[in-house]
Amino acid sequence: MKNKIVGIFICMLFLFSALPIVTGANIKNNKQESLLMKKDANHTSIGFDFMILYGKIVFNGEVVKDNLTYYNITPVSLKQIEFMWVPGNGFGDGSMKITQNPFMFPKNLLRHGYVRNDSVFLWGFNIEILP
């Protein structure tokens, strides 16, 4: 009885170790047929963007320009991190240090977090459904 149970576990081990190889063999074709990657007349594409803005700043107040409210800041040590999914291109990410002085960005772009006189931590998530 003990040998049969050990034999079953060994068979399960071989089965579950071989499944990822068998299912991953056709990954190139699966990627090309994905609805998120396709963009044609019969399918809609979904893209998203997640951005984080954080660091030390000097807050200069808010500015209204072209019917939009902007944060006007002077960066001391300001960084931006971005993760995105672009239909047709796939996943991308990037980070950069912002040195532009003064730096203005729309208040409604990054909706979560805080802006103080000496620091900022803002993040936002945007989903686009493209025809």
Instruction: Give the length of the chain.
Output: 131
Segment 83-88 long-range contacts (CB within 8 Å, at least 24 positions apart):
83/49, 83/50, 83/51, 84/47, 84/48, 84/49, 84/50, 85/36, 85/46, 85/47, 85/48, 85/49, 86/47, 87/36, 87/37, 87/38, 87/39, 87/45, 87/46, 87/47, 87/130, 88/37, 88/39, 88/45
* Tens digits of residue pLDDT in 41-79: 555 667 788 888 899 999 988 999 888 888 888 999 999
Tokens of 70: 């902007």
pTM over 0.85: no
**Of the ranges 27-36, 38-47, 80-89, the best mean pLDDT one:** 80-89
Domain spans of the chain, in order of start: 2-32, 45-130
